[in-house]
Chain A
């Protein structure tokens, strides 16, 4: 079993839709949770950063962490064609020497 599970998709939605991206994990020690967006042939860009449980909102993006279920989500409201990219979840723990574990990435296509 992988430490972090993420559906690779692809996920295709119409413009304006609400997108829900998710990851599950097995290591209860994870404390730091991140979402990255990666366009083709570019480096990942940090979108959201959350410590421990709870929600965090930034513009059209909302990140949720449910540590009891070992489940994290990223919601994108009013999705745009420019949101078409691969979204990677990532997490780390102090006990693991802060080694960051990445999900496989979900490919998202937003159709105009």
Chain B
């Protein structure tokens, strides 16, 4: 299957600092990537949809100024948690949709390995 690389796996930061998480599709082009947040023993909570070359679409209740998303190329999306606070501590996961060479949408989502963010 397709590979999505997510870095870093773990990050610990002080309150008030910003943290950037990278998500890369290694062997396919991803016009659309997704960012999720997951709390212990809970399912994935979609935060935003990242489209290459355009602004991200945020889910209701997600602060776009706090969670900055950039999708500058077909293989890279970044999530920056700005002015992080302890309540932002969570497991963040990205996924990418294989857009397919023919331009037809492919419904398979491939996930990164996740980033555990701990804000002190």
CB–CB A43/B6 < 8 A = yes
Q: Chain B residues in contact with chain A, CB under 8 A?
A: 1, 4, 6, 34, 41-44, 91, 93, 95, 97, 105, 107-114, 116
A36 surroundings in chain B (CB, below 8 A): 111
CB–CB A88/B108 < 8 A = no
**Interface size on A (CB < 8 Å)?**
22
A32 to chain B, nearest CB (A): 4
> Given A98-B97, A105-B43 in contact, is the A34-B108 Cβ separation under 8 Å?
yes
Q: Which residue of B lies closest to A98 (CB)?
A: B105
A61 surroundings in chain B (CB, below 8 A): none
CB–CB A43/B113 < 8 A = yes
Instruction: How many A-B residue pairs have C-beta atoms within 8 angstroms? Tell me.
Output: 49
Q: Is A92 at the interface (CB under 8 A from chain B)? A: yes
A37 to chain B, nearest CB (A): 11
A92 surroundings in chain B (CB, below 8 A): 107
Q: Which residue of B lies closest to A104 (CB)?
A: B43
Which residues from 30 to 55 on chain A have a C-beta closer than 8 Å to any C-beta of chain B?
A: 32, 34, 36, 41-46, 49, 51
Interchain CB contact (< 8 A) of B110 among A41, A46, A88, A103: A46
A-side interface mostly: strand
CB–CB A49/B107 < 8 A = yes
CB–CB A103/B41 < 8 A = no
CB–CB A41/B43 < 8 A = no
Q: Give complex CA distance A102, B93 in Å.
A: 14
CB–CB A41/B108 < 8 A = no
- 0/1 string, A6-22, CB within 8 A of B gives 1: 00000000000000000
> Given A102-B43, A102-B44, A103-B43 in contact, is the A90-B116 Cβ separation under 8 Å?
no
> Given A102-B44, A105-B43 in contact, is the A41-B109 Cβ separation under 8 Å?
no
B35 to chain A, nearest CB (A): 12
> Given A42-B113, A42-B114, A43-B113 in contact, is the A34-B107 Cβ separation under 8 Å?
yes
Q: Give complex CA distance A11, B63 in Å.
A: 36
Q: Give complex CA distance A83, B116 in Å.
A: 23
> Given A34-B108, A46-B108 in contact, is the A41-B116 Cβ separation under 8 Å?
yes
